[in-house]
Amino acid sequence: MGTPCPASPAAGPGRAPRARLPGAPVKKPGRPRLRRKQPLRPRSPPGGSGGSGSGSGSEGAGGPGARGPAPQPAQLDLRTFRDYGQSCYAFRRAREGLFHAREALARQPQVTAESRCRLLSWLIPVHRRFGLSFESLCLAVNTLDRFLATTPVAADCFQLLGVTSLLIACKQVEVHPPRVEQLLGLCGGAFSRQQLCNLERIVLHRLGFSLGAPTLSFFLEHFTHARVDAGLAAAPRALQTQALARAVAELSLADYAFSRYAPSLLAICCLALADRLLGLPRPVDLSLGGHSEPELQDCLAQLRLLVAINGAPLAHVLRLQAGDQGGLSAEGPSWE
């Protein structure tokens, strides 16, 4: 049987109040601190060129019906890459296997590959709704799969695990992560704040607070920087390929069949497939990832099949990345 959702602690009538520790210091009442109700916004440059998008950040953190800030165009920082790129890649590549859950559903009696796909197909628009980064989504999927590999989960608790994993990921990456009330509002009031907080503690305990997983997002960015730094592609063309590869990678996150591939292998294959789709004369070097030829060809074949089956959703994702605002209604994505 799966582990049920953590219940909120009940305060019984006969429960004794918690005793204060002897000699514990007591905080003296002081002047109330003024808290900023809205996050700090970047100051617009002279001339008013940045005034049109200055309010999007605070609106993304508003009610459950608010849409997140529009994603900013990606930039390549080759100077930082030349200083730290290779050492950072070597470190994360060496630790990749420690965070890779290859058979996350092997111990799950109630959670299936179909229910996992259904959850992530709901969670991906949620992440896009709040304007979150692709790194947050990859970390959320990694946290979800690693917890599933260690703990049986009840079917009625699976959606709560999804939003909890997204919250944990956002706390690591995002400057302004979604509030708990926002995430619970998208669940239709099926769960309480205390249940989410209790499950968050359970997830962190099961994972040993080991959260810095190497992700698809990191390897996509690294390989893009590497090909531009080596002069194998111009920066605008490489960024266009990266955007298409990210859309393909996003589709692969929801498909349980791709969980057996390491993130670095998936990243280099997504870039190679994007190069072929865009007709680049000099495709990415597959040897950058350090994987064997049979692994590369097997992953590429599965990605081609995925793109062939999901051609319309892939085009939809690309339109959203280009700034199309027709993705979600004001009521939010539907779980059913």
Query: What confidence tens digit (pLDDT) does each residue in 264-322 have?
Result: 999 999 999 988 887 777 788 888 888 899 999 999 999 999 988 876 666 665 555 44
Structure confidence at residue 313 (pLDDT) = 61
Q: What is the mean pLDDT of residues 160-174?
A: 92
pLDDT grade, residue 38 (50/70/90)?
very low
Which residue in the block uniquely carries the two structure tokens 């204060």?
20
- How many angstroms separate the CA atoms of 216 and 248, rounded? 11
pTM above 0.75, yes or no: no
pLDDT attached to residue 103: 87
Q: Which residue has the higher pLDDT, 39 or 260?
A: 260
% of the chain beyond a pLDDT of 70: 70
> pLDDT tens for residues 144-156?
999 999 989 898 8
Tell me what the mean pLDDT of segment 154-173 comes to.
Answer: 92
Q: What is the pLDDT of residue 48?
A: 39
Q: Nearest CA to 301 among 330, 265, 336?
A: 265
For residues 242-260, give the mean pLDDT.
90
Domains and CATH numbers, the chain: 105-206 (1.10.472.10), 216-321 (1.10.472.10)
- More confidently predicted of 89 and 328: 89
What is the C-alpha R_g of the chain? 22
What is the arithmetic mean of pLDDT over 172-178?
Answer: 89
The mean of the pLDDT values for the chain is 76
Q: Quick one: pLDDT at residue 49?
A: 36
Cα–Cα dist 234/229, whole Å: 9
pLDDT tens digit sequence for 60-87:
333 333 444 444 445 677 878 888 888 8
More confident residue, 145 or 15: 145
pLDDT at 52 over 60: no
Which tokens hold the place of 206?
């099961």
